[in-house]
Amino acid sequence: MSKILIIAEKPSAGKDIARILGVTNTKNGFMENDNYIVTWARGHLVKLKDPEEADPRYKKWNVDDLPLPYDNGLKIADGATGQFKIIKSLIQRNDISYLINAGDAGREGLLIQSWIYRMCGNKHPVKILWSSSLTDDAIKTAMGHLHDEKEEEFVNLLREAETR
């Protein structure tokens, strides 16, 4: 039986979503039932590498190095390795049909989730739960109106966030 993997931005949001969906089986870093797996990041679980991590010459300031490269790659944030490994193992499960991005509604929430999926090597389709409120009714409504990550609005928001 295939399942839907929901990834919230914070543990409290993930646990609220799990409660609303009736997901009660608690495991290490996630919750699961017959239909859903709910897990969470811890805010900025993944972040950009610093320039000197991509190339040691950038450790020392030199005007001749300008402009610095804008894409130095991604890394796991300090103290986040454990939860990152949990999310990665869930994304790589064979019984996942698609992911639901339940990050914060906004460009930063979209970016944080996107970077996690990229670092985990996600190959599943992604739907977006877009709600600025985490009340029970708001989450139920948003679950009934999921967005596709390929919708122009979300593609543009992600581009904006990455550019920023």
Mean pLDDT across the stretch 55-80?
80
% of the chain residues with pLDDT over 70: 97
pLDDT-derived band of residue 146, with 50, 70 and 90 as boundaries?
Answer: very high
Q: Quote the tokens at residue 43.
A: 């805010």
What is the distance between the alpha carbons of residues 59 and 86, in angstroms, rounded to a whole number? 32
Residues with Cβ < 8 Å from 154, sequence gap 6 or more? Answer: 110, 128, 147, 148
Q: Exposure string (b/e) for 70-95, b if CB count within 10 Å is 16 or more?
A: eebeeebbeebeebbebbbebbeeee
Residue 85 pLDDT = 97
* Cβ–Cβ under 8 Å, residues 96 and 6: no
Query: Which residues on adjacent β-strands are paired with residue 106?
Result: none
Q: What pTM did the predictor assign?
A: 0.90
Question: Which three-class secondary structure state does DSSP give residue 75?
Answer: strand
